[in-house]
Chains A and B, each alone.
Chain A
Amino acid sequence: MRIAVCIKQVPDTAEVKINRETGTLVREGVPSIINPYDMHAIEAALGLRDALGGKVTAITMGPPQAEAALREAISMGVDDGLLVTGREFAGADTLATSRALSGAIRAIGADLIVCGKQAIDGDTAQVGPEVAEFLDIPHVSYVRKIIEAEIDHEARGSIKVERLMDEGVDVVQAELPALITVVRELNTPRLPSLRGKINAKKTEIKKLSAAEIGLTPEVVGFNGSPTQVKKIFTPAPRCGRRVLEGGLEEQVEALVKELMEKKCL
């Protein structure tokens, strides 16, 4: 099975602090990591490859330094890395990103595409389904379990999964080629192996520009993005904090009274 994993290099938002004076984010010293959901996507792809045979290619769109994310994926056992890169991709929203990624996937060919549910910097969860639409293939979001996958020598096959919904779980079967987006519950990502680390050093990362994917600069990056950021601001700080006093029983009594007054009960 040819599997493509879409990953994103993101700043570790857990490490980000806000400068209370200026109301801006302090990015200094914050490490770049593979988006945590994408780690589960990598693991899912590797698990399927180990069971069914085939090859896993990690794909990312980003600046030259995003190569580090691909090398990290290779150290976990991914076979190949593909970096979609170039100034023309800068300022891409989800639509322009999906267009570029789907172009790259089309260029290498894939039976299954695995993405993390969303990236922790943007939290949109849109790129996976949009890539599926650009490729005109089915997708299943929020996969929490892969029940079975099969593929024959003519690349006909299917994947059966459990999908996490707001009020329960659906069992969904998709025809291949298909795209799935995965949640954390799916698996535990493996650690890099020694052999993987050696591969990560020596594997050549293939780079693709917009022209090489067959896309003009007008449809990628900022120019190809229908959405624009009008402004960025920090949310208003919370107010109305109240420290409860007295012994535990009095505090609990005071809390219940406050909640009654606020009509919470």
Chain B
Amino acid sequence: MPLKVEKNVCSGCGACITVCPYDAIKMEGGKAEIGEYCQLCQACLTACAEGAIKEYKGDLEKPGQADLSAYKGVWVFAEQRGGKVAPVAFELLGEGGKLAGQRGVELCAVLFGATRQEARELVRRGADKVYFCDDEIFTNFEDEPNAGLLASLINEHRPEIVLAGATAIGRSFLPRVAARLKTGLTADCTGLEIEPETGNLIQTRPAYGGNIMASILSPGTRPQMATVRPKVMKPGRCDDSRQGEIIEVKAGEFRRSRAKVLASIREEEGAMKVNLQEADVIISGGRGLKGKEGFQMLRELAVLLGGTVGASRAAVDEGWIPYCHQVGQTGKTVAPKLYIACGISGAVQHLVGMQSSDIIVAINKNPEAPIFNVATYGIVGDLNEILPLLIRKLKERKNGR
């Protein structure tokens, strides 16, 4: 809803100007005036001591689709990589199942480019129906066939909610689907719930570099679409006795793709995957590692803990490790169970990318480093002493068992 200042109530104190993240408020004639840069974040609403800023409910009715009740069901786009369903799909089925239960509707999965066996796995994980296409056009990920076929299935079956992983794949092609259907899409959600009065989907996501959380609605259009961050939702229980319908669909006209994948190269470092967003444990290194060699210790630790290696921007900029390992605002946003930050001072840009991890361990020689402010456990000292100690202790535990 647009925000307006009630001029007779505004004291001209300027508190709203201070808090506005978008610099959208100006003082005009001693009164605040909200300008066109307003993103409706409502930071000013809470900051205004006089209560002079109001949500303007004048034209709430938007030109939307006429009959929202014609849309029923919760859909999960189950992404596959190399023919295997990605773990985030099971998380979405877990969460989607709850939403479908509350709405009293079906939970369906959509799977392109994998085997029927993988489709059955989706049934075991909670899908009542699986729309399934094994056309080879989906072997590699190309945006247009995925967007085209998914949009067409949505038009035909009219689900009220469509979820996909906030992964490289989901975040690339789902916007095309939303634009084709002229509907709302909320990126990178970390919370989903049904608004009891309206049945609308409340989609909560971090914004502004993780400094604030925003709850988003798409009240006037269907389906309500969201990409959901991996590792946030709990996967559905696997039940071998579950029955579901697997419906085969054809790619047909949607095979057209004007951006072709010529080659697909998987990057792995030995036994270690670089997919930071799906890792349970991340060992990250920063400038304190002093060089490429420092990361060797982190790799050893990562293998011991069954995790992967991350890095701060400083370490990537120094060329010590490739960009795909970068955590933070201009890299990946991660939320593993365990995040060990080694020699990372904790610039805001790094913190926003990892501060929602379950447990954060910070190792740094500077006791004043901001990383300690978000750390669950902190050790002040020299990495070159601490890491070998940690590696030794972990090896002892391992061998002891």
Contacts and interface: CB of A to CB of B under 8 A. Distances in A.
B345 to A, nearest CB: 13
Contact of B167 (A62, A166, A230): A166
B261 A172 contact: yes
Interface stretch (A50-58, A106-114, A130-138, A198-206): A130-138
Q: Find the residue from B2, B258, B355, B393 having the highest chain A CB count within 10 A.
A: B258
Contact of B209 (A13, A232, A251): A13
Nearest to A127: B175
B249 interface: no
A189 interface: no
Nearest to A176: B258
A229 B394 contact: no
Interface residues of B, number: 118
Given A11-B21, A95-B178, A173 B262 contact: yes
Interface string B1-45: 110000000000000011111111000000000011111111100
A226 B260 contact: no
- Determine chain B's interface SS by DSSP, over half rule: mixed
A165 B168 contact: yes
B378 A243 contact: yes
Contacts of B369: none
A89 B40 CA distance: 13
Contacts, number: 325
A89 B36 contact: yes
Contact of A251 (B62, B376, B379): B379
Q: Find the residue from A137, A185, A218 having the highest chain B CB count within 10 A.
A: A185
Interface string B332-374: 0100011000000001110010011001110000000000001
B208 A129 contact: no
Interface string B190-210: 000000000000100011111
Contacts of A223: 59, 62-63
Report, as a range, how many residues of chain A touch the other chain.
Answer: 35 or more
A123 B218 contact: no
Interface string B240-277: 00000000000000000111111111111000011101
Nearest to A144: B323
Interface stretch (B94-102, B141-149, B155-163, B231-239): B141-149
Contact of A232 (B212, B265, B379): B212
- Determine chain A's interface SS by DSSP, over half rule: mixed
A227 B186 contact: yes
A7 B133 CA distance: 38
Contacts of B167: 166
B62 A264 contact: no
A248 B385 contact: yes
Contact of A255 (B39, B213, B220, B390): B390
A75 interface: no
Contacts of A218: 63
Given A255-B377, A262-B359, 6 more contacts: A19-B19, A129-B176, A138-B143, A185-B322, A234-B212, A241-B378
